Structure 1
């Protein structure tokens, strides 16, 4: 089979004006970025605000493995197949980060014959949103350090600065640095560091905002640091709000592109799901809901991270009512969760598969607990045997959950017709209609919310708060942040906070080592395990295999 880049380069794209016109978007409601991309004006949302919403379907997955599950590919292929059935479907996905693109995970434009195009632009610098978000964050950092240098009128304690600069690249050398060295005129020396752009609060704010006024209000609330009395110092006090919003004037607008078969795609925002809330922007999803019959969205990593945060943070904040969910799994990923080694995943192993099914079954139970119908999509691979597929179907049938095959990677829309029909039946002729209900009520307090997620989604026996986390819990509650939802930063590879506990582990304890408020985004982050906010490159980075030829042909991008 041809590479993703080869397939993408052979596709015939429509002018973005035709894609917009097919959705009923007027010429003055979008700004073309060349021939293939456009920024959608927020005035579009104002015009269509009174339209009824289409169906909202979340695509999520079992816990990710080194083998990959193809969640984004399934999302894109499903939207294409729904259009083939005569439904007006729109896919909404996150923008890729350059860190994974040049690292090990690869891009986020789908794969094979289920891609969003132009994949090279999308996976590289797209419309400049990442750069604008990074610039807004770093401007705030510069204003903070300037305030320290200019006599420190706000009384900022340089040992209690929460804000870090960001860069959209995996670079472990920048995790911990010392700034302000040199002459007195070079600033106030202090320890600091860099995070990857997708981990910063500005990214989370952009993806949760309802519009420009809301954006500015959220930016103003960012807690940058604390003074000697441990009172928060905000972006508003640093007089940063207006300039930050100015830098984000175009980034706030969702991006319109298309799939390989010209199905509309709205791509916007990109917070990581283990560090942040892991979903594309509320604005993009809201536009799609008003423009189409079906909005196919997704949440990052496994359902214990991305789906939980979509249901418990995004939906309550935006007022979304999901109509169904699709849980993506692969036979090889299930075997990996059952103990089969990565190098042996192409070999039939029914015992490992049977053990690994516990991971899928727990995710199904968790999704159902939100009152959202669920079906399982098996992303087919050539090495899958009939015996293995039969075992998956048997176990799913025993749970009373429908399971269908998906071959959109190899066959495009044709490979997703069965899945699309199942989604239509789930949403339009449900045996049990969706009765969405978040897992917890944030007003019960941070501790209660964290423990509820840990016990009911992760299935932990208990939650341990370190002494640091306990003091932060008390301080945040006293400061008025105790009623915010929680965004738990956890490894994506396991239900637990130990990436080596695969399958469906039990008998473990979750340790919350520290807490940090994201007052602008509207949640509190609880850090568990060893979560890196600035990833590093692997021994053999994907960047080492990339190139571009004189005629513009791209090599190695995926």
Structure 2
């Protein structure tokens, strides 16, 4: 590998993105089998795809369906989006046509510490400024629809409607905003004269954490979207009965706000591979996958549909298999696990990586023994993919600071576990750098599949939670706080027991404790609270402290973002 001192200087992501030679979107769509009449252009570089394209493409052959996940990531992330884009590009290098489907980035993290989410280097979605900033306004539509419901709920409380009385202490529906702002986590509303409403405690979450976002991502049609919105539970009445958006007569107006947002957005990669960008549900408390609508289009648009699942395979991929695939009816043919030298070294417990801080020098020193010491995490995530009957392919996402001996260590670990392995240099070389990965994925996807859900629909909520905890996380059991146990019993009585579960926990460990690295065993999953996203169609037990409204760092990315004298954006990464 090229050592850091010899590495030629590489342009940054924004500079690379501006080198892209974009093709007309009509041409991109035609390559997918989508006629131009199904496109609604938003400028020159992005277009909405009308929902009629689903039926238009339905008689075309089905693409191989590939999900990209990862080992448990460090706070810096391991390059899942970059790998997803690089793999999509690489298929054209082996004579195959691919479509990529990814989530839309949240603007809060873009202006915070994380930066954008368009991929990176020569494997990114372009124009990256459009993708990271507003795009076609879908996130803002989610914000507006969510907050309309909050306003109508508070108005109902204020008007003291005789139809039903809201138990103010039962209200679970907060407001949302697509900005990182810690001071809004807990607020008091209704201050001032009596005409300004009833005083009560509430707060804001980031828009990506909204149930409306999860609904947008899981809906299979406009009608399905409308019905799911109506099922949202926001509070209980004084008799303990759930109050829904339909009860408040808010769901119809919410659907109107989201009428355009349900249409997936068509863009392209640096190498002109089609990309469907749609929805961005939070990966901690929601399922962390792009939309079903995008997949229903992409599954008939080429030879391969490559999509991404958030965080490690214990989180995004598990939810992809057990929540998204239940909603869409689609079944995966292969799964990619992105692994990096730095993450496996971190899982050895010998190095600490902190977001926003330089990597420790000892982490960059050649040490394949540290890679082997962190191997348990990779092995468990391979097992987690196989639990669902899907063939895993390990993608070694190479960094210039890696060493050949460390890559060899990852290859040895994965091959001994029976997984296919590919070394990837798509960040610096684009699709050509992921050809080995494309060939391995094509081989895996050609094998007969035996996809299966982790648990049956008719299992109880406790049985579902315990299946994920023990089989996927490696826990020895589950412990429920008294309140959580009561909530589970109530949801079973209310008829929500057939819903899948989406366990809200840290993404920095397979366990619920972010400090436990590798693949910890013999621990107990603590469920302190259980909430219902009835509209989205899942129950989410909360294990540990979940931040649903991030804060800004001491020096957020927003400080570096500006407009130059030509009106071009600078500092975006």
TM-score range relative to shorter protein:
over 0.9
Are 1:158 and 2:168 matched, yes or no?
A: yes
Q: In the aligned structure 2, how far is the partner of 1:525 from the partner of 1:169? A: 24
Q: What is the aligned counterpart of 1:446 among 425, 436, 461?
A: 461
Does residue 263 of structure 1 match 2:273? yes
Per-residue deviation, residues 95-138 of structure 1 (Å, max 9, x unmatched): 00012111112211000000001100100111100000010000
Q: Which residue of 2 aligns with 1:323?
A: 333
d(CA) in 1 for partners of 2:88, 2:532: 36
For residue 373 of structure 2, the aligned residue among 351, 355, 363 is: 355
> Is 1:288–1:295's contact at 8 Å kept on the other side of the alignment?
yes
Change (3 A) 1:236 1:67: closer
Contact preservation (8 Å) 2:75, 2:508: no
**How far did 1:387 drift?**
1.6
Partner of residue 114, structure 1? 123
Q: How does 1:200-239 map to 2 (within 5 A)?
A: 200-239=210-249
Distance 1:271 1:61 in 2: 18
Contact preservation (8 Å) 2:33, 2:57 = no
C-alpha deviation, 1:540, in angstroms:
2.3
> How far is 1:17 from its partner?
1.9
User: Does the CA contact (< 8 Å) of 1:338 and 1:503 recur in 2?
Assistant: yes
Q: What is the CA–CA distance in structure 1 between the aligned matches of 2:311 and 2:378, rounded to whole Å?
A: 14
Q: What does 1:118-197 correspond to in 2, within 5 Å? A: 118-153=127-162, 154-197=164-207
Shift of 1:50: 3.0
The CA deviation at 1:140 is: 0.5
Q: Is the 8 A contact 2:220 2:327 kept in 1?
A: no
State the TM-score, normalizing by the size of structure 1.
Answer: 0.98
Distance in 2 between the 1:228 and 1:415 partners?
61
Write out aligned runs for 1:101-500 (5 A).
101-153=110-162, 154-339=164-349, 340-342=351-353, 343=360, 344-428=362-446, 430=447, 433-500=448-515
Partner of 2:103: 94
Deviation for aligned residue 1:477? 0.9
Query: Which residue does 2:536 correspond to in 1?
Result: 521
Distance 1:366 1:151 in 2: 50
Distance 2:235 2:56 in 1: 40
Tell me, what secondary structure is at the counterpart of 2:503? strand
Q: Distance in 2 between matches of 1:345 and 1:498?
A: 23
Aligned residues: 555
Task: Confirm or deny that 1:80 pairs with 2:89.
Answer: yes
Instruction: Specify the alignment match of 1:48 in structure 2.
Output: 57
Measured after TM superposition, the shift of residue 545 of structure 1 is 1.8
CA displacement 1:227-274 (0-9 Å, x = unmatched): 111101110111111110110011000000000011100000000111
Structure 1 counterpart of 2:567, from 539, 542, 552: 552
> In structure 2, what is the Cα distance between the partners aligned to 1:272 and 1:351?
35
385-394 or 357-366, which deviates more: 385-394
Question: Could you tell me which residue of structure 2 aligns to residue 535 of structure 1?
Answer: 550
Q: Could you tell me which residue of structure 1 aligns to residue 37 of structure 2?
A: 28
CA distance in 2, matches of 1:538, 1:496: 26
Contact kept in structure 2, 1:221 and 1:519, CA below 8 Å: yes
> 1:67, 1:332 within 8 Å by CA — same for their partners in 2?
no
- Structure 2 unaligned blocks of 5 or more: 1-9, 354-359
Deviation larger for 386-395 or 117-126: 386-395
C-alpha distance in 2, partners of 1:20/1:48?
12
Higher mean C-alpha displacement, 336-345 vs 326-335: 336-345
Contact 1:274 1:489 in 2 (8 A): yes
CA RMSD in angstroms, aligned pairs only: 1.1
TM-score between both structures, scaled by the size of structure 2: 0.95
Residue 349 of structure 1: how far off its partner (Å) = 2.4
Q: Is the 8 A contact 2:289 2:310 kept in 1?
A: yes
Secondary structure of 2:364's aligned partner = coil
Distance, in Å, in 1 between the alignment partners of 2:75 and 2:346 is 9
Decide whether the 8 Å contact of 1:204 with 1:277 is kept in 2: yes
Q: Specify which of 1, 11, 14 is matched with residue 5 of structure 1.
A: 14
Distance 2:59 2:530 in 1: 39
Consecutive unaligned residues in structure 1, runs of 5 or more:
none
CA contact (8 A) 1:67 1:333 kept: no
**CA distance, structure 2, for counterparts of residue 170 and residue 441 of structure 1:** 38
CA distance in 1, matches of 2:533, 2:413: 41
